Amino acid sequence: MKPQADAGALLRSVLQHDRLWEVAFRGRNPRLQPEGSLRIVQTRAFDVEQWIEVAPGGVYEYWVSERGRADRQFRTADVEAAEMFLLQCGLRSQGKTSLRRSPFEPPPGFRISGLPDGGVDLSWGDGRWAEFFGLGILQEALTFAWLTLEDRVVISESVRSPAHEDPLWFSGSSPELRGPTGVPTVTAWKMWLKEREPTSDHDESAVL
């Protein structure tokens, strides 16, 4: 755990150094908040406001407020994970939500579990973690994991590419890349993977 001010200064420095997140949020007026503010980045489009703030313990939280109701979507203590989720949200605001590869293949090195309140927990590396909240979040969490493993140059190309030339995303959904039907939970996803084991060629080094 680290002081809120120190965590905020670290993320603000990272985002000042690399402004790719601003490019990702095309036309949505993302703003890096001034030093001393617990909100680090804030963006608004019509009646939807989104921001990253620093919670006690130096944890970064991503919030979305629509028509006055604020919901937390993401939290992590890892500054690189906070930056990556911000990039992912910017890409999502462009309609880039369907990876060219199936996100439902288990990303190698990630532990994935459900939280008691219905959220999804990812952990990887040396004590790194992130939590996702809301509806339909398993695909978002898995997509985040695959983006974390992706080459940064490819992510940069994706941010700047029009939909039909994007190296990472389809402009629409691809049925053959879909995972469990309906709104999959972590449990349903793991059962789906188990059912596919005899013919699956996915990476067995993944940690579930």
Q: Is 108 exposed, middle or buried (0-12, 13-18, 19+ CB in 10 A)?
A: middle
Q: Residue 205 pLDDT > 50, yes or no?
A: no
Per-residue model confidence as pLDDT tens digits over 15-51 = 999 999 989 987 677 889 988 888 999 988 778 889 9
How much is the pLDDT for 204? 46
If you average pLDDT over residues 149-172, what whole number do you get? 88
Question: pLDDT-derived band of residue 164, with 50, 70 and 90 as boundaries?
Answer: confident
Question: pLDDT-derived band of residue 172, with 50, 70 and 90 as boundaries?
Answer: low
How much is the pLDDT for 170? 82
pLDDT averaged over the chain?
Answer: 87
Per-residue model confidence as pLDDT tens digits over 48-105 = 889 999 999 999 999 999 887 899 999 999 999 999 999 999 988 888 888 888 889 9
Question: pLDDT-derived band of residue 8, with 50, 70 and 90 as boundaries?
Answer: very high
Of 53-57, 84-88, 131-135, 149-153, minimum mean pLDDT range: 131-135
CA distance 164 to 33: 33
Question: pLDDT-derived band of residue 200, with 50, 70 and 90 as boundaries?
Answer: very low
β 39-45/98-99 pair status: unpaired
pTM listed for this prediction: 0.88
CA distance 184 to 136: 7
Distance, C-alpha 164 to centroid of its chain: 22
If you average pLDDT over residues 106-132, what whole number do you get? 95
